Amino acid sequence: MIKRYYYILFLIFTVQGIFAQVTFKSAVSKTELGLNERLRIQFSINKQGADDFTPPNFNNFKVLAGPSQSTSFSSVNGKTSYKLVYTYIIQPTVKGTFTIPSASITYDGEIIKTNTVRIKVLSAVDIPKDPNDPRYVASENIHLVAEVSNTNPYVGESISVVYKLFVNISEVNVQNTREVSSPSFGGFWNQSIDVKKWVPINGTYKGKPHRYVIVRKTVLIPHKSGKLIIDPMEMEITAGIPMGRRDFFGNMLMDDVNFTTTSGKKIIQVKPLPLENKPFDFNGAVGDYEFNVTASKTNLNANESAQIKVEVSGVGNLKLIKLPEIETPKGLETYEPEHKEKINTNLGGLKGRVYNQYAVVPQFRGKFKIPGVTFSYFNPKEEKYHTIQTDAIILNALQGKLPNEENINTEFKKSVIGNENNIRYIHSKTGFISKGDKENFYGSNLYYLLLVLPLLSIPLGIYIGKKKKQRDGDIIGNKRRKADKLARKYLSQAKKQLGKKEAFYIALEKALHNYLKAKLQVETSDISKEKIAEILLQRKVDEQTINEFKMVLDNCDYARYAPSTEVMMKQDYEKAKVVIAKIDKQL
């Protein structure tokens, strides 16, 4: 009887344990879809008190929305049920068969995981041309367009890309926008023009009236010839589609849909610069320029300074050209030039002027000739080269020491004393010393010193050799010294520009790219920061160092167009020096 009682109790507790079991599972709206379709995935748990939800890694998918959280609670005939659901909307990025890993959540101190989900992604499917399908209506009335000013430029010629969002406001109502994929400009130098406010403008798209806003404006300068591709921009649009019914107050009812639109790829065929009539001193300047070399003054005193300005002005690839250098004669001391830029960026390209300003100081009185300077550039509109030759500059130092005055030694300035009879005293004894009276070298102190010196050098050589071997065996120390040397090499130009904000950050960015180019044997200016990070990750560089490197690059992009102090520049310089050393040691 007692055994039967315990048996019944055991069954009761077992049944309660089964009913009290926690379930945490994942479910999808479909397991097979096209590349351009969307998928809803939900993670649900049937117990209250769960927290620390961690979603899976959605590799090969992009998250369009989520997580959205919903709960439900019901009680029927004394039985209660509870459900907490996390929902994501995702879209595949590539074709193939993929497994979405488990999500996890913490319940009662334990980590619980969902089941995995297998998804098959096929080629993009056609959106049904159903006028009642909200997605089809959105796709027909919302368009993202990339307008390129010139698809066949020369190397170094400025072009512009304007991204416009066209909307047929009579058919759809745009409620929200989000950029999900930014365009990339491999093979181009690029600079964005700030769009402060979206201003609706009346226009047409394929002959139909639309309103559009300018989303982004970018100036591009190709730095290599051939076929270059501008990857598309993608935007997610939340749009309201009229349902054809009105509410109680007479307002049109809307069906909200999420819709992704893309600008599509743009192919730019870049022409190489012609070789015919190319000047020998051509340095990559492309545009329409004026060139001048001027002096702040031509009459001055010795040890008084004058400013020589070498200036290029006009429209073109101003930020990328290298200014010619001046040559100065001996006696005219020349200091490192100060580089300055005053450039405005608009859809027509870069307009303004850049110049190097030299300080020159004559060391003595006289005239000094600074020869004329030549500057060559290619005009893409005229499709020909131009060479400008400036006149020589004559500096006249009016006061100061004569050129040879420093070489005159007053000790040798003596008066000549004449003799009336012109007869001089003849010595009867010579002052010469016989060679035989000198001490013989053989057996002298110098002889024995030179004899012993090789013997003394042997232990010294052994000591130096041991030190060198010990230093060569210090692998970590050698790596650190090599890394520091490389950092100083590539950052030396940036250090010279400390205090000059834009020049400093341009030089710092070039130093980082030149370093990676030397170490990785790739043209880093042609690829994005994400691609650089991927290459470094493949070369076993840790993620923290990669993130620090990307942060320095981001600081260069941001600080060039934002206020920056010399203290901030020094901090960025030190960060760049440290991160180059870290990467070099790990490579």
Query: The domain spanning residue 573 has which CATH number?
Result: 1.20.120
| CATH number, domain with residue 357 | 2.60.40.740
Q: What is the pLDDT of residues 455-487, one digit of tens each?
A: 777 888 787 877 777 776 666 556 556 655 655
- Rounded Cα distance between 33 and 315, Å, is 51
96 and 12, same domain (yes or no): yes
> Given this model, what pLDDT does residue 356 score?
93
CATH number at residue 99: 2.60.40.10
Same domain for 351 and 310: yes
416 within domain boundaries: no
Residue 12: what pLDDT?
Answer: 47
Q: Among residues 397, 417, 438, which one ends one of the domains? A: 397
Q: Reduce the DSSP state of residue 81 to 3 states and report it.
A: strand
Q: 253-259: long-range contacts (C-beta < 8 A, 24 or more apart)?
A: 254/173, 255/134, 256/175, 257/134, 257/135, 257/138, 258/38, 258/64, 258/65, 258/89, 259/135, 259/138, 259/139, 259/142
Is there a domain that residue 492 lies in?
Answer: yes
Task: Record the pTM.
Answer: 0.51
In a domain, 415, yes or no: no
Are 78 and 147 contained in the same domain?
Answer: no
How is residue 150 written in tokens?
Answer: 């010139």
Kindly state whether residue 46 falls inside one of the protein's structural domains: yes
Instruction: Calculate the average pLDDT of the chain.
Output: 78
Residue 559 CA to residue 87 CA, distance in Å, equals 39
- The pLDDT score that the predictor gives to residue 416 is 36
Q: What is the pLDDT of residue 426?
A: 55
Q: Assess whether 304 and 388 both reside in one domain.
A: yes
What backbone torsions phi and psi does residue 504 show, to the nearest 5 degrees?
Answer: -65, -50
User: Does the residue 465 lie in any domain?
Assistant: no
* The pLDDT of residue 419: 46
CA geometry: angle 97, 98, 103, nearest 5 deg? 155
Contact in structure between 321 and 192 (CB atoms under 8 Å): no
Query: 187 and 291: one domain?
Result: no
Cα 70 from Cα 520, distance rounded (Å): 49
Walk along the chain (587 residues) in steps of 10 and give the mean pLDDT of each run. 53 45 85 82 82 85 78 69 83 87 86 89 72 74 90 92 89 81 84 86 88 91 90 83 62 70 88 91 91 90 87 92 89 88 88 92 87 93 92 84 51 37 53 57 74 79 78 62 61 73 76 73 63 78 79 70 64 78 76
* Amino acid found at 233: M
**Does one domain contain both 299 and 366?**
yes
Q: Which domain holds residue 27?
A: 2-122
248 and 356 inside one domain: no
How far is the C-alpha of 89 from the C-alpha of 96, rounded, in Å? 19
Q: pLDDT at position 408, please?
A: 36
At 230, which CATH number? Answer: 2.60.40
How many domains are contained in the chain? 4
pLDDT at site 483: 52
3-state DSSP assignment of residue 217: strand
d(CA 30, CA 486): 54
Q: Whose CA is closest to 218, among 263, 160, 155?
A: 160
In a domain, 317, yes or no: yes
Q: Name the residue type at position 150.
A: N
Do 489 and 569 share a domain, yes or no? yes
